[in-house]
Amino acid sequence: MIALKLRRAGLRCMMIAPRMPANREGAIESLPPNVPRLLEAAGLPHHHFADAIAGRFHGIVSDGVVRPFLEETGTSHMPGEGWHVDRRLFDRVLLNHVFEQDVTIMRERLTAVEFTRDGVMAQSLSASVRARWLVDASGRSGVLQRLCRLAVLRPGKQMFAWRGVTRIQRDRGNIEANDRKTSSMPTYQTFGSSWLWQAPLDDGSLAWTWAGDANRPPRAPSPDDTGLCDVAHARGFDVSWRVVRPTAGAAYWIVGDAAALLDPRTGQGVLFALLSAIAAARSIIAVEQAPHLRSFEAATYDAFVMSEFRHKCAELSSRVPPASRRDSLD
């Protein structure tokens, strides 16, 4: 997203992006209605993602309470629509759109970074790239944080999440009926400091994410009494809360999960990636137009990320019993 906005502002962009790791293939992610709206505003209407959308939903059931998505349209409210997407296919659409905007892509891994008076020198295994700005959108791998040894705040204990796709045993008639229910609501259940997310997909399978204490095994999904089989693509990953300090500097911006990570129960990983990318792009464009704003724009962006992180930490902490809550950021 940030490359698209910078290209439209007339700036040349290069992406240094290794190919997606195998453990990302087949991963299902649930996107709130804000994401499709932002994508459409960026020139990517929903039909571009037809192959990536594995299911649609108009709300969630949170600990037994139905919470529909409603969007204001003038004086009335219309149902909002979220998507369950295959991240491999979803990311491919975004990448293809980047190609169309003449963004250069180097399929390598960043190995070193050196900041200079007028920008940054980025080194891969086979080439050096000099640029005025470096934006880190490397997700949970946090490339720039590791290379530059930036500080990381970690409020609370370590948390792991497991996710997968479960095939549900049903007779043929029930499967066909389920395929027609493209707006089946996913469910969210809490178990103390742990939680389970289950999302029915259009093909009759169930995407699930369980998160909790790193030392405890995942809770087995149990959507109904029809029986389960075939757990596919199950994998675990670290979702401990963390935020990089600072998330912007003289020649760099860090966006998305690379900047701040919360466990997936917020359902806003992709949304924050888009919002932070838009904010970073605006800051860079502002500095291009007025170089004396460099420090101000970096500080403003960093404050935005920290504010979002604090807000989400407070929201998540309010969902668990006091004995299980995490340490404060203050």
Task: Say whether pLDDT at 313 is over 90.
Answer: no
Bridge partners, residue 161, by sequence: 211, 237
Question: Between the CA of residue 41 and those of 6, 29, 37, what are the distances in Å?
Answer: 15, 21, 6
Name the DSSP class of 49.
G
What are the sequence ranges of the domains in the chain? 20-106+157-169+183-240
Pick the CATH number of 20-106+157-169+183-240 from 3.40.50.2020, 3.40.50.2000, 3.40.50.300, 3.50.50.60: 3.50.50.60
Model confidence band, residue 106 (pLDDT cutoffs 50, 70, 90): confident
- Per-residue confidence band for 317, with pLDDT thresholds at 50, 70 and 90: confident
Least confident of 24-38, 106-120, 124-138, 235-249: 24-38
The pLDDT of residue 169 is: 58
Determine the pLDDT at residue 231: 46
CA angle 8, 16, 46 (to 5 degrees): 50
Q: What is the pLDDT of residue 183?
A: 46
Model pLDDT for residues 156-207, shown as the tens digit of each residue? 778 888 888 887 755 445 544 444 444 478 998 888 778 889 999 999 899 9
Residue appearing with tokens 């309470």: 65
Q: Is a pLDDT exceeding 80 seen at residue 31? A: yes
Cβ partners under 8 Å of residue 167, min gap 6: 204, 205, 206, 228, 229, 230, 232
Residue 284: which H helix or E strand, with range?
helix 269-289
